[in-house]
Amino acid sequence: MISPINALLFIILAPFIGGLVAGMDRKVTARMQGRIGPPLLQPFYDVGKLFQKEQILVTPSQNFYILSYLVFIVASGALFFAGGDLLLVIFAFTLAHIFLVLGAYASYSPYSFIGAERELIQIIAYEPMIILSAVGMHMVTRSFFVSDIMAADLPLIFYLPGVFLGFLMVLTIKLRKSPFDLSTSHHAHQEIVKGVTTEFSGPMLGRVEIAHWYENVFLLGFIYLFFAWNPLVAAIALVIVYLLEIVVDNTFSRVTWQMTLKSSWIIAGMLGLVNLGILYYLSAVVPK
């Protein structure tokens, strides 16, 4: 059943939760590097400063593309937490990033152009694994609706361990963490030129950052589905998964786009496909 209240709660609360997660990320990263780090609320201060700056547009269409990016990210997350169709959620989520790519292309900057191409490569890299995750959940629960998957009360992690590991791999891409932060990075020290966001500044860049907060909450919600049968276990799993992503981010250096594609398609893809193949042949023992 679709829940408009859950969608509204996501729209209101996700930016605050996402900003706090970003602040925690920076704090833990700093501790791992022997630094004190910025305050927990620093991401909110940074975005607040961006909205106080002058709006500078390279081309008028940029504003439309970035606004569309934010709207579709919010729409995909709202539909997900409302319990909607997972395939429709994935479609809206992908469309949002296409608008981000178009916004980067619209600036006619060579740096932004390269960032846009790398963003497209990342979409090609992670999209198959996200779709395989949705297919796997459907095979277990017989539904693509998030509300049905949550209500199934099945430990999806036990049925879909390979799919889960594959999703963890592409999660690193989606969180823009090393070694797969090809198009842009959430760390300032990674690059002087900021890839896909090179030509975004002021309020426009602020909207991009807020979209990232919405996106991160949505991705954590996707991870939650694998452990939804037990909320306490799910909460612990979310903490462990995100801390693992931070460790990976601070341990590995950036790889090439060729390695990103190979690792995503071969390793993550094989984990997912093999898992689904085994699940298909053992479908008789899966509860209907």
Q: Which of 53, 92, 60, 39 is nearest to 202 (CA)?
A: 53
User: Which pLDDT belongs to residue 95?
Assistant: 95
Residue whose C-alpha is closest to residue 112's, from 121, 122, 102 = 102
Q: Enter the tokens of residue 102.
A: 């178009």
pLDDT by residue (tens digit) across 136-152?
A: 999 999 999 999 999 88
Mean pLDDT of 24-30: 92
The tokens for 201 are 């500044």
- % of the chain at pLDDT higher than 70: 94
Q: Please say if the pLDDT value at position 76 is more than 50.
A: yes
Using the predicted structure, report yes or no on whether residue 288 has a pLDDT greater than 80: no
Of 60-74, 102-116, 148-162, the one with minimum mean pLDDT is: 102-116
Q: Which two tokens stand for residue 231?
A: 């909320």
The model's pLDDT over 264-278, given as tens digits with 9 standing for 90+, comes to: 888 888 888 999 999
Domain ranges of the chain: 4-12+54-283
Query: Tens digit of pLDDT for each residue in 209-246?
Result: 999 999 999 999 999 999 999 999 999 999 999 999 99
Confidence of residue 192 (pLDDT cuts 50, 70, 90): very low
- On the question of pLDDT at 62 being above 80, the answer is yes
Please tell me the pTM assigned to this model.
0.92
Residue appearing with tokens 């479609």: 91
| DSSP 8-class letter at 264 | I
Per the document, the length of the chain is 288
Indicate the burial class of 3 (C-beta count within 10 angstroms; 0-12, 13-18, 19 or more).
middle
Which pLDDT score, from 0 to 100, does residue 46 have?
Answer: 93
22/285: higher pLDDT = 22
